[in-house]
Amino acid sequence: MKKTVRDVDVRDKRVFLRCDFNVPLDDSGVITDDRRIVSALPTIKYLMEQGARTIVASHLGRPKGVADMKYSLAPVANRLSELLGTEVIFVSEPEVVGPAVKDAAEALEPGSVMLIENVRFRPEETKNDPSFSSELASLADIFVNDAFGTAHRAHCSTAGVADFLPAVSGFLLEKEIRFFSGLLEDPEKPFTAVLGGSKVADKIPLIENLLDKVDTILIGGGMAYTLLKAKGYEIGTSLLDEDSIQLSIDIMKKAEEKNVKMLLPVDTVCAKEFKNDSPSVCVDVDKIPADMMGLDIGEKTQKLYRKVIMESATVVWNGPAGVFEMDNFAAGTKAIAQAMNDTKAVTVIGGGDSAAAVRKFGLEEGISHISTGGGASLEFLEGKKLPGVECLQDK
């Protein structure tokens, strides 16, 4: 168990708080989705109430180590001020930690909050260079990491500063760790994983790690066709990852040996072109026409997968069941989202596309946990250690 912000005395202390404010902006720099800022509010409010002097940092986009003002955190500072209903002092310096930031941090009153510039303005940040970590650390007495979305990166502001300061988690990171460790350590059975997305190769480490924990794996998305091909089906022009056919054969064999049911689609919605308006047909997987590609799971598969999800006690979902960005091929993903919403099971969604899909369909209400970190949650489920978590003090 890692220490959290509750386990340290933050009163009057300077706290370096790493958040993930990597929010989407439109062409005129307006934030189009502030969920990542909203998710950080419980920790920030707690620090304010406790009388800490909070210095918040984040990255935004990929400025590639230069102070490109297109990626300035100025819009985030405004939105954060609005959400908190109080002024957030924003000190923008191209070197991120310059004289103005040092002075402002020094002068910060208990209970107040300041935000510094995009940490990726500095080339050292993504290299986890100790010199920049120590500059960041020099601003504070305690490091609180609440940026789950970047916890799989060993960067100065996500892990390096912990070499210089006592490090604990914020509430968001704590919640993410609780749900994901719960899945890996002590899931209620039956435990089902729903996997989709485009490439099998990307999901092999995940499947390998889950084979010792889950009872059933439901496969959808583009990756299903390589697995179907490995089983001897003709898949027409569907997405095929030739190089992963042997891997697919091996992983299905391993699943069998471990008594894990690995279900593949039994029917699929096919079209001639990768286009929303390409006329489609739904066929069983042994009847995929040679000139068509599978773009979604069919109705029989949806029903089958729904039944498994409804009968599970724990379900984790990573990757869409079809090309959900196109309305005509979104039904399979919607059916999974609906089942996730309807089941009594503990349901966890691993961020990224599946989280976007659940939101697109307005079905997030019934989900136990939707992760804020696509990449980080995937690495956690693969059994990898996350640098942004590992660097925190143990209880």
**Which positions are annotated as active-site residues?**
36, 199, 352, 375
Whose Cβ is closer to ligand AMP: residue 210's or residue 323's?
323
Examine residue 219 and tell whether it contacts ligand AMP (CB under 6 A).
Answer: no
Among 75, 265, 319, 387, binds ligand AMP (CB under 6 A): 319
Total number of residues shown for the chain: 395
Out of 15, 119, 210, 323, the only residue in the binding site for ligand AMP (CB under 6 A) is: 323
Q: Which residues contact 110 (CB under 8 A, 6 or more apart)?
A: 11, 12, 51, 52, 53
- CB-based contacts of 45: which residues, under 8 Å, 6+ apart? 84
**Cβ proximity of 350 and 318 under 8 Å:** yes
Q: What does the angle CA 251 – CA 259 – CA 199 come to, to the nearest 5 degrees?
A: 25
Q: Please pick, from the candidates 43, 92, 145, 198, the single residue that binds ligand AMP as defined by CB under 6 A.
A: 198
Find the binder of ligand AMP among 221, 236, 298, 350 (CB under 6 A): 221
State which residue, 72 or 198, has the beta carbon closest to ligand AMP: 198
Residue 214 or 323: the one with the smaller Cβ distance to ligand AMP is 323
Indicate whether 309 belongs to the interface with ligand AMP (CB under 6 A). Answer: no
- Provide the minimum distance between the beta carbon of 197 and ligand AMP in the complex, in angstroms, as a whole number: 3
Q: Which helix (H) or strand (E) holds 131?
A: helix 130-137
- Residue 30 CA to residue 36 CA, distance in Å, equals 14
Q: What angle in degrees, to the nearest 10, is found between the helix axes of 374-381 and 352-360? A: 120
Q: Which of 149, 294, 350, 387 binds ligand AMP (CB under 6 A)?
A: 294
Per-residue binder mask for ligand AMP (CB under 6 A), 348-387, x = binder: -----x----------------------------------
- At its nearest, how many Å lie between ligand AMP and the CB of residue 76? 26
Q: Which is nearer to ligand AMP, 144 or 224 (CB)?
A: 224
d(Cα 168, Cα 174) in Å, to the nearest integer?
Answer: 9
Q: Report d(CA 114, CA 108) in Å as an integer.
A: 8
Q: How far is the CB of 331 from ligand AMP (least distance, A)?
A: 12
Answer for the pair 285, 297: CB distance below 8 angstroms, yes or no: no
* DSSP letter for each residue of 185-198: HSPPSSEEEEE-SS
Region from 59-67, 129-137, 170-178, 198-206 binding ligand AMP, contact rule CB under 6 A: 198-206
By CB under 6 A, tell whether 322 contacts ligand AMP: yes
**First-to-final CA distance of the chain:** 6
The three-state secondary structure class of 349 is strand
Note whether 136 and 161 are within 8 A (CB): yes
Stretch that binds ligand AMP, among 187-195, 245-253, 256-264, 322-330 (CB under 6 A): 322-330
For ligand AMP, the closer CB: 95 or 325: 325
Q: Per CB under 6 A, does 63 bind ligand AMP? A: no
Span interacting with ligand AMP, options 38-46, 115-123, 147-155, 195-203, rule CB under 6 A: 195-203
Stretch that binds ligand AMP, among 27-35, 112-120, 121-129, 194-202 (CB under 6 A): 194-202
Does the protein bind ligand AMP through residue 199 (CB under 6 A)? yes
**H or E stretch at 210:** helix 200-210
Residue 261 CB, shortest distance to ligand AMP, in Å, is: 21
Tell me the DSSP string of 23-83.
--B-TTS-BS--HHHHHHHHHHHHHHHTT-EEEEE---S--TTS--GGG-SHHHHHHHHHH
Binding footprint of ligand AMP on the chain (CB under 6 A):
197-199, 202, 221-222, 239, 294-295, 319-320, 322-323, 325, 353
